């Protein structure tokens, strides 16, 4: 059975569709909503979005595969995205990435067996003044060091 949106999301989808003169333009907002609701955009979700927009599922796949924030596979409850671009690199981001790998026991791109954490290295997050920085789901954290990472991760249940 294909997954179904909550009533609240259905309402939001209607509102989003009304913003654009062409339906397809609503694809990114729709994919954000889909990912929020179902955790990822796999084949099933692609089909649902395609149906709403009246396009072929392959058209949705084309878009999903282009944008790094859209996950074709499920991620952990907490998605840790560490910036590895220049300003963060200059502030020892690599050491932090190594520390996270060791602490979580996974490589970038992997999820812990308990599905709690996914670790990803990403390009510039636009928080260079707070380097080294990372995101946990949609929250930004900056001026990181090992101690701060310990404190942050300990708080996550």
Return the number of the residue (105 or 126) whose C-beta is nearest another protein: 126
Instruction: Tell me the torsion sign for CA atoms 45, 61, 50, 138.
Output: positive
DSSP 70-138: S-SS---SEEEEEE-SHHHHHTTHHHHHHHHHHHHT--TT-B-TTS-EEEEEES--S-GGG-S-EEETT
According to the binding rule CB under 8 A, does residue 91 interact with another protein? yes
Strands 139-141, 117-122: pairing is unpaired
According to the binding rule CB under 8 A, does residue 120 interact with another protein? no
Rounded Cα distance between 123 and 49, Å, is 28
Return the number of the residue (63 or 104) whose C-beta is nearest another protein: 63
Question: Total residues contacting another protein (rule CB under 8 A)?
Answer: 40
Q: How far is the CB of 113 from another protein (least distance, A)?
A: 26
Strands 134-136, 117-122: pairing is unpaired
Identified binder of another protein from the candidate list 17, 39, 47, 89, rule CB under 8 A:
89
Binding mask 18-57 for another protein (x = CB under 8 A): -x-xx-xxxxxx-xx--------------------x----
Q: How far is the CB of 108 from another protein (least distance, A)?
A: 13
Longest dimension (CA), the chain: 50
- State the residues that interact with another protein by CB under 8 A: 19, 21-22, 24-29, 31-32, 53, 62-63, 66-70, 84-87, 89-91, 122-131, 135, 138-140
């Amino acid at each position: 059975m294909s997954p179904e949106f909550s009533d609240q999301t259905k309402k939001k989808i209607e509102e989003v569709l009304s913003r654009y003169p062409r339906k397809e333009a609503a694809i990114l907002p729709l994919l954000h909503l889909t990912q929020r609701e179902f955790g990822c955009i796999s084949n099933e979700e692609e089909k649902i979005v395609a149906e709403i927009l009246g396009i072929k599922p392959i058209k949705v796949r084309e878009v999903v595969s282009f944008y790094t924030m859209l996950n074709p596979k499920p991620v952990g409850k907490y998605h840790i995205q560490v910036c590895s671009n220049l300003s963060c690199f200059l502030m020892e981001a690599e050491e932090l990435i190594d520390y996270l790998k060791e602490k979580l026991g996974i490589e970038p791109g992997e999820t812990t067996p308990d599905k709690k954490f996914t670790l990803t290295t990403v390009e510039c997050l636009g928080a260079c003044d707070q380097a080294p920085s990372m995101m946990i789901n949609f929250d930004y954290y900056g001026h990181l060091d090992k101690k701060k990472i310990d404190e942050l991760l300990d708080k996550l249940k």
